[in-house]
Structure 1
Amino acid sequence: MKERLDELLKDRGMRPSQLAQAAGLGTSTVDDILKGKTNELNIGVDKMLKIASVLGVSVELLYGRKEPSSLHIPPEPRERQLLDRFRSLNDEGKEKALDYLDDLVDTGKYKKRDPVGMAQEA
């Protein structure tokens, strides 16, 4: 698990202390996993769920039952920036942000274009 967690942290540009804080865990818990002192069998399901939730992956992936590349495509820097900003909003702000994104997509002006120049469906 330590290799998988280290890889996921690097993919997301997160420090172990940031993961610990976001998951409501002690920094030593995450550090112990990364040092191999604690493994997925003795960390506890509740902590595994918190870590998986913060990283946006399944617990199954953390347990190493599937390869990360088959389940997870690391976000582009702009996607990461968007997600970080979205997570900093309260519920009302999140709703407004989603409404604004819907408006941008609905206008068609900002949709991705395929090589022929046709707007791609979302």
Structure 2
Amino acid sequence: MSFASRLRQAREQAGFTQQDLAKKLGVTKNAISNYENGVSSPKWEILVEIFDILHVDPNFLYQDDFSSELAEAHVLTPQQSTLLAAFDQLNDEGQTKAVEYVEDLVLTGRYKKHPASGLDAKDA
């Protein structure tokens, strides 16, 4: 369920029509309709008032947005985890050398992923 549909749900549970909420917020009924249909988003000041008027927790309205952001968060592969663990064991000079070495590997092109296909350059 999206922010827009949760906003509509919260408004209806509070017993407000779009017109009622619009009047309390000092916006048009059309603005409320746009918020509830995902056409536009309320400004921060209006959003804070919505939380207060509807007695709704921001986490309720945005929970799907937070969940999708977490789902899109980058998860390290086992190889990346191994590389980072080894990197963390190096002193400053060793870390600098490791970064330089990896940059050199990329610059040669031989070990660089092929941009269009995701294949390694040696496989392309």
TM-score (norm 1): 0.45
User: Which structure is higher in helix share?
Assistant: 2
Larger Rg: 2
